Amino acid sequence: MASIRTTTLFAFLTLSLAAVGSAHAQARPGSTPVGGIYSCTDSKGRVLTADRPIADCNDREQTELNPSGTVRRKVDPTYTAREQADRDERDRQAQLLAARQLEDRRRERALLMRYPNAAAHDHERAEALVQIDVVIQAAKTRLNELADDRRKIDDELEFYKSDPSKAPDALRRRAEDNDRSVAVQNRFIGEQQDEKKRVNARFDEEQSRLKPLWAANSAAAVQK
C-alpha cells in the first residue's frame, strides 16, 4: 500500500510541475503563440506569409491565422509619430464631416416639415417680403412729409436769400434737422432693400435644398 501511495504522489507532482511550466511558457511576455501564421499583401501587391509579424507590412494590417487557417486576430499597422498624427487628423476631419452631414440631414428634415411643398415656401417668402415693403413704404411716406416741410422752410428762407446769415437760428435748425431726417430715412430704406436681398438669397438657398426633397417625396407618394 505504501508503494502505491508513493507512486501516485510522484505522478501527481510530475503532472503539476508540467502544468506550471506550461503556464509560465504561455505567459512569457513577447512570446509568439505556437502555430501562428502571419499573412499580408505588401506595397508591391505580393502576398507574404511568415511565422512572425512581417516587417515589409509594418505599414498595413496583417492577419494572424491559426494552424487550421482560421483568423486568430488582426494586427494593426505600426505608425511613426508623424504618421499617427496624420492618421489622427484624418480621423478628426472624417468625424467633422460626418457631424456636418448629420446636421445637414437634420436641417433638411426641419425644412421639409416647415415647407412640405413649393407653394408653402413661396407663400412664406412673399409674406416676408411684404413685411419689409410695408416698412419701406412707411419710410417713403415720412420722406414725403419731410419734403413738404422742406418746401415750407425754403419759402421762409427765401426772405433771407440776399443775406442768409440774417435767417433766424430756429429756422436754420429746422433746415438742418430736416436734412438729417431725410438722410436717416434714405439710409433706412437702403438697409431695408439690402434686407430684401438677404431674404431672397435665404429662400433661394432653401429652395435649392428643398427641390430634391420635394421630388423624392412626390416619387414616394406615386409609388404608394
| pLDDT for the residue 115 | 95
**Which residues make Cβ contacts (< 8 Å) with residue 60, sequence separation at least 6?**
40, 41, 42, 43, 77
Q: Which residue has the higher pLDDT, 188 or 44?
A: 188
Flag whether the pTM goes above 0.75.
Answer: no
Q: How confident is the model at residue 28 (pLDDT cuts 50, 70, 90)?
A: very low
- What pLDDT, in 10s, does the model give residues 51-79? 989 988 988 899 999 988 899 999 888 87
What average pLDDT does range 104-109 have in this prediction? 91
What average pLDDT does range 187-203 have in this prediction? 97
Q: Enter the C-alpha cell of residue 106.
A: 437634420
| pLDDT for the residue 196 | 97
Q: How confident is the model at residue 223 (pLDDT cuts 50, 70, 90)?
A: confident
What is the C-alpha separation between 81 and 145, in angstroms, rounded? 74
In sign, the C-alpha dihedral spanning 18, 23, 29, 31 is positive
| pLDDT for the residue 172 | 92
- Would the pLDDT of 12 be above 80? no
What average pLDDT does range 153-176 have in this prediction? 92
Q: How confident is the model at residue 155 (pLDDT cuts 50, 70, 90)?
A: very high
| pLDDT for the residue 35 | 60
Q: Domain segments of the chain: what residues?
A: 32-78, 81-114, 117-223
Distances (CA, A) of 172 to 38, 112, 131, 147: 97, 58, 37, 16
Contact 58, 30 (CB under 8 A): no
Q: Which amino acid is at 104?
A: D
What is the C-alpha separation between 144 and 47, in angstroms, rounded? 87
Q: Which of 31-45, 105-119, 184-198 has the lowest mean pLDDT?
A: 31-45
| pLDDT for the residue 13 | 33
